[in-house]
Amino acid sequence: MRRFDGRVALITAGASGLGLGIALRLAREGADVVIWDRDAGALETATEEAAAGGITLSGQALDMTDGAAIESAVADLAARAGRIDVLVNNIGGSLHTPFRFLEQSEEDWDRVMAVNVTASIRTTRAVLPHMVSAGYGRIVNMGSKAGRYGSLFAGANYVAAKGAMQAFTLQIAQEFGPVGITCNTLCPGAILTPRVEGLLRERQSAEERRRVLDSIPVRRHGTVDDIAAAVAYLTSEEAGFVNGASLDINGGQGMVI
């Protein structure tokens, strides 16, 4: 499929894991994809490996805790590409801060909120005027199963941050839907990227991991491809009537009526 021919997509934290998988999927479907990441080496590796497979990705090293850097990077992208059609706020993570609430420091909370919430808010604020001018836009915010049901291995700061992103999604969807822009949240369960694998090994025993797997009705953990496929749908023209949704991708481990 070539659902994104002529579209420009920005993926944050896109040099590895979920972000890279999303970037590759949208590029395969025709998008002009730009990935931001703070790790310049990982960006170089990602763009080179993509090119070896016949896929073009543009990378920019960026510290997304720097609001001025975000504004400048968005302005440069809009000037170069002439438009920004898709924004995937993929940046986030628990940053390996302590799991137990009373063991989390003020700094632990500030860091997790800055990366998961503030960086995404700043990026969205910078991108939205370009979408409004075009009368079209697709925004996907990365939530989490943790933000909806709590977590067995990520702490209260991460849970609160992902819950905040869901609430932010609702307001953006309501405010900008009338001008052709949709905003939705993706809420994955544990997706086995190398980072998540390491965290699970650190915080859960083999027996605990087996019990968690048995609690998932489809009896497997999620993959990067599962998430990339969902993002490709939500950011396509086909999903124009999906707005303000929180899409659970957890194999049925968490369900709501």
Integer CA distances (angstroms), 230 to 5, 14, 223, 224, 239, in order: 18, 16, 11, 10, 11
In which element (H, E) is residue 186 found?
A: strand 181-188
Judge whether 213 and 219 are in contact, CB under 8 Å: yes
Residues comprising the chain, all counted: 257
In single-letter form, the type of residue at position 210 comes to: R
Number of neighbours of residue 235 by Cβ within 10 angstroms: 28
Residue 11 host element (H or E): strand 8-11
The token pair at 30 is: 């025709």
Give the three-class secondary structure for 88.
strand
Q: Which residue out of 136, 149, 158, 233 is catalytically annotated?
A: 158
Distance CA 26, CA 7 (A): 10
Closest listed residue to residue 242, CA positions, set 173, 179, 188, 172: 173
The pair of three-digit structure tokens given for residue 54, joined into one six-digit string: 């016949």
Distance separating alpha carbons of residues 245 and 235, to the nearest angstrom: 13
* Catalytic-residue membership of 136: no
Place of tokens 């997790």: 112
The set of catalytic residues is 158
